[in-house]
């Protein structure tokens, strides 16, 4: 009889764990609402490639770009070390959002300047709690951050700063020239503005038009 009771208790505990577990799909949409309420003007970009990893969420702010990694209750830390390295290269600040099962351990797996949010199921909704506020990322590489922009967006920054167009040059060349010309404080604001204005519905047409102009210019120069 006691054995059956212990088994019942174990079974009930496992069932309770399953009921309170949060998956990535449970966290994302409520998180977007939380971030908008907390930070005001933001733009969310999902699944952005960064080096050898992919950022779950990139949050654009007027004066910064933040990387956000989600570790749901179903996730492990297997890839986190590499992900942290890549987030640190690209974004001004970084946060990790975790299910409650990770709350006691996540601080051991991310740098001290990373912010930490926990996500907990509250009836039919999800509540978020701040375990640690994010601090400025001391390892961000402004060159890598600038590479997030598409070539037409870089061209607009060149135009804003009265720079030559360098249409015949590579993206890497243009990035180096921008970094030499534009003060970091100005560039930070301009990068955010380009990401706020990014139009995914027309970008293919924009890039095609940019390539046509580049090809025409190269032919003319020859």
Which one is predicted more confidently, 92 or 203?
92
| pLDDT tens digits, 76-129 | 999 999 999 999 999 999 999 999 999 999 999 999 999 999 999 888 889 999
For the ranges 59-73, 99-113, 191-205, which has the lowest average pLDDT? 191-205
Q: What does the pLDDT read at residue 8?
A: 47
Q: What does the pLDDT read at residue 122?
A: 85
Q: What does the pLDDT read at residue 9?
A: 47
Which one is predicted more confidently, 14 or 197?
197
Whole-Å CA distances, 117 to 12, 86, 95, 154: 28, 20, 7, 33
Domains of the chain: 21-132 (3.40.1350.60), 142-221 (no CATH)
Q: What does the pLDDT read at residue 213?
A: 61
pTM tops 0.85, yes or no? no
Kindly calculate the radius of gyration of the chain based on its CA atoms and give it in whole angstroms.
Answer: 22
* Other residues' Cβ atoms within 10 Å of the Cβ of residue 181: 15
Q: What does the pLDDT read at residue 2?
A: 41
| pLDDT tens digits, 36-52 | 999 999 999 999 999 89
Say whether pLDDT at 5 is over 50: no
Residue of 70, 67, 85 whose CA lies nearest to 195: 67
| pLDDT tens digits, 134-192 | 999 999 999 999 999 999 999 999 999 999 999 889 999 999 999 999 999 999 999 99
Say whether pLDDT at 62 is over 60: yes
Distance CA 187, CA 160 (A): 10
The pLDDT confidence band at residue 200, using thresholds 50, 70 and 90, is: confident
Q: What are the structure tokens assigned to 86, written together? A: 């890549």
| pLDDT tens digits, 17-40 | 444 788 999 999 999 999 999 999
Say whether pLDDT at 16 is over 80: no
Q: What does the pLDDT read at residue 219?
A: 40
Q: Are 113 and 137 in contact (CB under 8 A)?
A: yes
The pLDDT confidence band at residue 217, using thresholds 50, 70 and 90, is: very low
Distance CA 55, CA 90 (A): 10
């Amino acid at each position: 009889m006691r054995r059956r009771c212990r088994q019942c208790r174990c079974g009930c505990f496992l069932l309770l764990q399953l009921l309170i577990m949060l998956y990535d799909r449970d966290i994302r949409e409520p998180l977007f609402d939380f971030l908008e309420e907390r930070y005001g003007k933001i733009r969310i970009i999902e699944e952005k490639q960064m080096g050898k990893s992919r950022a779950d969420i990139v949050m654009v702010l007027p004066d910064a770009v933040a990387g956000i990694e989600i570790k749901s209750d179903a996730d492990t830390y297997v890839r986190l070390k590499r992900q942290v390295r890549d987030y640190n290269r690209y974004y001004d600040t970084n946060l990790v959002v975790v299910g409650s099962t990770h709350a006691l351990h996540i601080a051991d797996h991310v740098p001290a300047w990373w912010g930490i949010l926990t996500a907990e199921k509250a009836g039919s909704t999800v509540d978020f709690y701040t375990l640690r506020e994010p601090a400025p990322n001391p390892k961000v590489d402004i060159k890598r951050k600038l590479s997030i922009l598409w070539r037409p967006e870089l061209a607009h920054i060149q135009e804003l700063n009265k720079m030559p167009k360098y249409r015949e040059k590579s993206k890497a060349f243009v990035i180096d020239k921008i970094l030499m010309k534009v003060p970091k404080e100005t560039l930070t604001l301009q990068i955010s503005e380009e990401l706020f204005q990014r139009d995914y519905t027309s970008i293919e047409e924009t890039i095609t038009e940019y390539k046509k102009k580049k090809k025409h210019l190269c032919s003319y120069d020859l």
